[in-house]
Every structure is written in structure tokens, then in C-alpha cells.
Structure 1
């Protein structure tokens, strides 16, 4: 059923499914959580216990559930934070039309947060601490660092501040994997966490580059704040830095040519997308920038996980916790 055909009388499950399809596509989020967690888990194990084989067990599933619920509760927090603006600028959205309400999302978000803490409790105190710290940062984000007006008038700072949640996610993966406090993570793990931050920042900027005719009065975008050319330069610089840090991690781990080849292909994929937009700026090529950024994230983690698997193999443990 088309979302425009839905009404308040439509079955709730259809309205909820339409909301997820519009604001939190399950297939893409599940894919991203799976490969993100696996890559960072393998990295943590190789850095902390290089003499032991990498492991996958029930703790992997628990961590993935917690991470998925974290992304979901972040979406719910964003919906509450941006509700007034979304009703003004996007009146056709499911939430703006009242087909799903903020009360519904509070229940959904509360369930997700409860699930995060329950599965963290099953894994141990270190995972609980990581989840608590990450939740507290997300709560501060919800309140826009208690400087809402200032942040809203400094869009670039606003965006960077909100992307800082990424290192906290990496910290959560580390604690779920190693059963150690996240502050004990090796230096190279944090280097890759910065690469995570840059990869997601690249996607965040790419999806908010618009043609002048698509800009919405009163709604910020990177193309409006920086201009089309400068926005694209920033996208390329972030990708270059992201690739450099990932490359350095690979050098330290003595990864093979398949890993470096993957990074090169991914970088040139971004370059081609940006050049295409520069040469033929249009609504279509602008949307391609967002698609390139999204697919990059998936394959960025895939090349690391695949290369570590190729070099070290993996064992499956039946240990529950």
C-alpha cells in the first residue's frame, strides 16, 4: 500500500511498517549493523589477542541487538528533537500526518533502550558501562547539548557534534567483544573509530547536498551553508582522511593487497560520484552522492572484516556469554 493511501483508520501494523520504510529502513540498518559490528569486533580481537583466533558467539548476536536498538533509539530521539521542524518542512511524512505519533515512538524508543540494557547486562558490567555512557551522550544530543539556539545557528558545528556518537558506538562494540572497559581499547582501535566517524560524516554531508531549486527556505543544508563546490570538496577531503586512517590500520596489521585494493576502489567510487555531480549537477546526481556514501559504509567495513577473516579465520564458540 502506498503511504499516501494510509489514513488514521488503517491497521497500525501497516502504518508502523510505512514509518519504518520511510524513516528507518530495516534491511539497510540490519545490514549496516551486522557488518559494522563484525568488522569492529574482529579488529578488537586481533589488536587485543593477536595470538588467539577470532571468535563469533552468542555475544556477537547480543552486541548486534544492542547496536541495532541504539540506532533505533537515536532515530526516536531525532524525531522528538526535530518534530516541529519536520511538521513544517515535511508535512507529508507519516509522523507529521499523525499516522504514527510521538507517543507511539516513545514506547518504541523505550523498548529499544530497555533491550540495550538487558542484553548488555547479559554480557557483563563492562558492556553495561559502555551502553550507559553511549546512552547519556545520546540524551545530551536529544537536548542539543543544552545550547539549542546556538547550535541551530551554527549548522556545521551542530552536525559534527551529533556525529561524535560514532566513537561511542565503537566503544560499545569493544566492551561487548572483549569484556573489558572501553577505555582499555588499543590506540589503533580508536584510530579506526575516527575513520568510522569520518565515513559516517561523509554520508551525512552527502545526503544534504541539494540543487538550488531543491533547497527549502528555513531548512539548513551543507550546499546552502558551504555552496555546492565547497560541499563536494569537503566530501572528498573526509573520504581521503578516512581512507588514510584505514590504510594506516592495515599497514600495522600487515593486511594484504585485497584490503588496500578495496580501499582504492571505494575511494575512486566517491571521486567518480563527486565528479559526476560537478560536471552534471542535477537532482539525480545529487541523490547519487547520498547513495555512494551509504554503500561506501557497508563495503568499507566489509573489506576489513573479509581481510581479517581471510588472514586469521574465525571460530564459533558455543559460550552463551
Structure 2
């Protein structure tokens, strides 16, 4: 979530000869999501996040009967829709910032308006209640808490210049959105398997936090100070921002290795256990490109590659080490 505020109801007035229609708005929303929340990225993130976190919980609770089924697939869909909801809210919250720094995005350039985005929010909430309500009231209530908190952040940034303009304060109050979703994934695991104690949830959430924060700091680390831009490097300097970016990646890999202790395993199982370590190749590649100044900011591709590969490595490790019969 980028520090900024929304002060207007739309990016531009709607001309009188441009009537609103459901079909037209649906096409505009489809184009908006294709541009700002591509399915290949957002759905992949949702799939890997759920599989990695629930795989971690399965390794920590070997007595659980974790398997592919309706509950797991539904949780993936739930997280995916929550990510879309976050994207829609962020587009509105960041409108003033985007007008100055990203005027080519759909909302500032008028390719979509706030009314249409809010209609999408309502539809997502209805779909989320349908996906969670049949599983348990707790899952539905917890999800509503998270979605409500996302909307609260919009008002919080309007009320508080400190939250809006200080990037680390903004991160502190906005990261709970991700943390609440991790808790939802844990609650889904508990509901499906009947196990998953709180310490396991803390370990899994910490692993996911490190993975996400690597990406968060990477994409907002710049080689130069850019006045007014929401870059962590503007506040802690280039070296500090790079250290945080790399440190969270190392923390994520360290936790993943501590999960299965591959040095105690043998053969193909040990090889799978070391797989998360290979994710650091993306950190090296991104750092090398950034250090050679081929990019003005840390390249987002390697940062996303680290996130995806680390989660994939954790999931594969869980399959091999804890659930060889997964899906059976």
C-alpha cells in the first residue's frame, strides 16, 4: 500500500453522452484487472502463498491429514479475491499520489472510475462470504475483519499525515492486512485438519512475512533520492534499504531451512529440503542488476521471482518431507 490519500470521488467527470451501463462497466473492470492485477501474477501468488503456508503447518503438525480438496481450493480462491480487493482499494487510496507519479494508471487517466471500483468491492465481498460462510462463521468473520481493516486504512491516511507520508509508519499499519490473511489461511488449515497449534501459526506467519517484506522493500529501493516518492531508500539510505531487502530474503530462507533441517535428511528428500536455498539466486540476480545501475530501482522481476520460488520450494519440501501422499 503506497502512502497517499484520495480526495476526489473520481479521476475525471463523466461526460453527459457517456451513460453508465452494466456491460460497459464490466468491460472496463475487466480491462482494469487485466492491467493492474494480472491473473497470472495474482492467482499464482494466492496459490503459492496458501500452499506454502499450509505446507509449513503440515510439516510442523505431522499428525494432520492435509490433502488437496475443496477446503484448500476454496481458500486459494478466497485469498485471490482478497488480493483483488486490496488492489481495488489501493487504486482509490493512491489516486492523488498516482496523479503525480503514475498518471498513466487506469484511475488517473479515466479508464475506470471510483463508482465502478466500489461496485467491484461489493461483488468481491459477496463472493467472499459465499466462499467462507459454508466452511465456518469464524472464517467469514475473520475475512470481513481483514476487508474492513483495508477500508479503514483509507480513512486513517486521510486523518493522519504521519501515517500517510511516513513510509515506515505506513508499512507498520498496513502490513496487518497481509498478516490477517496469513491467519485466515491458518484458520482454514485448522478447520480442515483439526490441528495446527498457535506456535505453528506464528512460525508460518513469520516465514510469510519475511518473503513478502523482501518484495516490499525491493520494489521501493531506489539508487537515488527522489523527493516525494514512496521509497524506503529515501529514508534509510541506499545501503540501509538494500540491507533490509537482502536481510528479509535471508531470514525467509533461514526459516524455511530450519523448518525441515535438510542437513539431517538423505538422498532426494535432502535435495528437496535444500530447494528454498536456491531462491537466493533471484536476490543475487536482482542485486547485481541494481548495483550495475542497469535499473534505477531494484528490479521487480527478481523480487517477485524470489517470492514465487521460495514459496514453491517450501511447498515442494512439505510434499516430499511431510506429505508424500498429498492429494491421495
Give runs of aligned pairs for residues 118-157 of structure 1, distance below 5 A: 118-144=130-156, 148-157=160-169
Q: Deviations for 1:118-162, whole angstroms, at most 9, x for unmatched residues? A: 211011123123213322332332333775311133212212331
**8 Å Cα contact 1:44/1:178 also seen in 2:** no
Residue 313 of structure 1 corresponds to: 324
- Alignment match, 1:86: 98
Q: Which residue of 2 aligns with 1:20?
A: 33
2:256 aligns to what?
246
- Which range moves more in the overlay, 299-308 or 147-156? 147-156
**Residue 3 of structure 1: aligned partner:** none
- CA shift digits 1:70-99 (9 cap, x unpaired): 111111111121112212322222111111
Does the aligned pair in 1 maintain the 2:57–2:204 contact within 8 Å? no
Supply the distance in 2 between the matched residues of 1:144 and 1:183 (Cα, whole angstroms).
36
Q: 2 CA distance for matches of 1:11 and 1:112?
A: 18
C-alpha distance after superposition, 1:92-123 (max 9, x if no partner): 22111111111111011111122112211011
Aligned Cα root-mean-square deviation (Å): 3.1
Asked if 1:71 corresponds to 2:83, the answer is yes
- Offset of 1:203 from its aligned partner? 0.6
Q: Give the gaps of 5 or more residues in structure 2.
A: 1-17
TM-score (norm 2): 0.82
Q: Which moved more, 1:18-27 or 1:38-47?
A: 38-47
73-82 vs 179-188, which deviates more?
Answer: 179-188
Structure 1 residue runs of 5 or longer lacking an equivalent are 1-7
SS of residue matched to 2:107: coil
| Contact map agreement 2:65 2:193 (CA 8 A) in 1 | no
Asked whether 1:236 is paired with 2:273, we answer no
Counterpart residue number, 1:43: 56
Cα gap change, 1:303 to 1:137, in 2 (>3 Å): same
- Deviation, structure 1 residue 182: 11
1:219 to 217, 222, 229: 229
How many angstroms apart in 1 are the aligned matches of 2:105 and 2:142?
34
Name which of 270, 286, 306 aligns with 1:296.
306
Within 1, Cα distance between the matches of 2:88 and 2:150? Answer: 11
Matched, 1:31 2:44: yes
Question: 1:187/1:99 Cα in 2 relative to 1: closer, same or farther (>3 Å)?
Answer: same
Tell me how far 1:291 sits from its aligned partner: 1.2
Distance 1:183 1:117 in 2: 24
Match of 2:188 among 176, 194, 209: 176
Pick from 235, 252, 273: which aligns with 2:286? 273
Q: Distance between the aligned counterparts of 2:272 and 2:230, measured in 1?
A: 37
Q: Measure, in 1, the Cα distance between the counterparts of 2:199 and 2:74.
A: 25
Greater mean alpha carbon deviation, residues 264-273 or residues 201-210 = 264-273
Q: What's the TM-score, normalizing by structure 1?
A: 0.83
Match of 1:4 in 2: none
Distance 1:89 1:132, change over 3 A: same
Q: How far off its partner does 1:169 sit? A: 1.2
Question: In the aligned structure 2, how far is the partner of 1:74 from the partner of 1:281?
Answer: 32
Q: 1:52 to 1:209 in 2, by over 3 A?
A: closer
- 1:62 and 2:74 equivalent? yes
> What is the alpha-carbon distance in structure 1 between the residues aligned to residue 251 and residue 51 of structure 2?
22
Deviates more, 1:182-191 or 1:90-99: 182-191
